[in-house]
């Protein structure tokens, strides 16, 4: 009898502990802030089966409420930073978002950030943040290819999974990530590969860095390139970035486009070259003139995969240019804009493109 009451009292204590954990459990969840910027994930259309829709229609609180069980993953706070299709993303929003993230992550009360974002320029925002966020806490971008009103809209599950990645203790130190379609990609390597299919984000060169399936997070390898806490770039006190334009090369492309960009005020030009960062003879001459005048010119490629050789058909040192290594033109533009915040030699600029 005595023994039974001993077990009974122990059982009572355990039950009280379990109950108190359930009651107070919320406070033990990680604190995640969701910064919403718009995109198709916040888009709406008139028909669930029609393809026409408008990005950036739904507000963040409604988006969170549409995801079952998401509040079981983390304590969530949503902030509406913008509500645009990401074709309208701007340097100003990048700076605002990056400053906000640095402020939030400096607080011990914030464990990670999720950013909802259109997919068109998501890789650009991710790469920009990867270079200027000063924290090893997780920063995860997500979006969707189908608007919230579509049949089988994948936004809610993508948001659920992005919060799971941001809330996971496993996710520290991977830099800025993109979590979509059950995959986790690094900001450095992720590319939008398709116009509308849900598997649009891929990292064809280095591969995805992890997976997230119904909230189960797994990492396979570290991202390529320097980022976040090991990045030399800072936007402290920065109000704008130097103008950098992209010139898309093709057969018989017009060399005077280089001069036009310089005249318009470009401090840097990224050539989306043919093949191994090549361009026709007239454009190459115009580029040489531009670099002599102090404009930074980086050779990337319009070809989806492969690095641009420093000594290939074009030898960069002969023209004052720099190879983008394996960065695509849109990411090379971001790295060049940040690099041009201070004076650099051509050699130092080349180092930057190899390291980041």
Residues in contact with ligand ASP by the rule CB under 6 A:
39-40, 55, 85-87, 118-120, 143, 145
Q: Give least dist CB 55 to ligand ASP, A.
A: 4
Q: Which is nearer to ligand ASP, 85 or 138 (CB)?
A: 85
Angle (nearest 5°) at CA 26 between 21 and 28: 75
What is the distance of C-alpha 313 from the center of its chain? Answer: 32
Q: Which is nearer to ligand ASP, 119 or 301 (CB)?
A: 119
Residue indicated by tokens 């971001």: 334
Active site residue 40: yes
Catalytic residue among 37, 40, 119, 283: 40
Q: Which is nearer to ligand ASP, 9 or 51 (CB)?
A: 51
Q: Which residue is nearest to ligand ASP (CB)?
A: 118
Q: Give least dist CB 51 to ligand ASP, A.
A: 12
User: For residues 200 and 142, is the Cβ–Cβ distance under 8 A?
Assistant: no
User: For residues 117 and 39, is the Cβ–Cβ distance under 8 A?
Assistant: yes
What is the distance of C-alpha 33 from the center of its chain? Answer: 16
Structure-block tokens of residue 53: 């829709």
Q: Give least dist CB 239 to ligand ASP, A.
A: 25
User: For residues 303 and 339, is the Cβ–Cβ distance under 8 A?
Assistant: no
Q: Give least dist CB 158 to ligand ASP, A.
A: 11
302-312 burial, b for 16+ CB within 10 Å, e for fewer?
beeeebbebee
Q: Which is nearer to ligand ASP, 86 or 203 (CB)?
A: 86
Q: How big is the chain, counted in residues?
A: 356
DSSP 3-state assignment of 296?
A: strand
Catalytic site positions: 40
């Amino acid at each position: 009898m005595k023994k039974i009451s001993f077990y009974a009292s122990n059982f009572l204590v355990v039950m009280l502990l379990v109950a108190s954990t359930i009651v107070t459990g919320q406070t033990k969840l990680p604190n995640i802030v969701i910064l919403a910027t718009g995109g198709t994930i916040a888009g709406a259309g008139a028909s669930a089966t029609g393809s026409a829709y408008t990005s950036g229609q739904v507000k963040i609180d409604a988006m969170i409420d549409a995801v079952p069980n998401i509040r079981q993953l983390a304590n969530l706070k949503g902030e509406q930073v913008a509500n645009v299709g990401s074709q309208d993303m701007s340097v100003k929003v990048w700076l605002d978002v990056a400053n906000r993230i640095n402020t939030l992550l400096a607080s011990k009360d914030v464990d990670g950030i999720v950013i909802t974002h259109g997919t068109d320029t998501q890789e650009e925002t991710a790469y920009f943040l990867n270079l200027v966020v000063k924290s090893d806490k997780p920063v995860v971008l997500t979006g969707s290819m189908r608007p919230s009103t579509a049949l089988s809209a994948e936004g809610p599950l993508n948001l659920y999974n992005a919060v799971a990645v941001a809330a996971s203790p496993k996710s520290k130190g991977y830099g800025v990530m993109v979590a979509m379609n059950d995959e986790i990609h690094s900001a450095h390597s992720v590319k939008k590969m398709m116009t509308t299919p849900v598997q649009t984000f891929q990292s064809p060169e280095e591969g995805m860095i992890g997976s997230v399936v119904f909230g189960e997070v797994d990492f396979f390898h570290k991202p390529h390139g320097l980022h976040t806490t090991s990045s030399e770039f800072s936007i402290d006190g920065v109000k704008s970035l130097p103008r950098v334009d992209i010139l898309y090369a093709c057969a018989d492309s017009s060399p005077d486009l280089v001069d036009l960009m310089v005249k318009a005020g470009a401090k840097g030009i990224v050539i989306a070259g043919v093949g191994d960062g090549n361009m026709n003879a007239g454009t190459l001459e115009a580029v040489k003139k531009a670099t002599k005048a102090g404009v930074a010119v980086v050779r990337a490629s319009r070809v989806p995969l492969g690095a641009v050789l420093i000594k290939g058909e074009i030898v960069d040192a002969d023209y004052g240019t720099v190879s983008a290594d394996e960065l695509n033109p849109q990411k090379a533009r971001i790295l060049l804009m940040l690099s041009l915040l201070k004076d650099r030699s051509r050699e130092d600029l080349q180092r930057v493109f190899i390291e980041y």
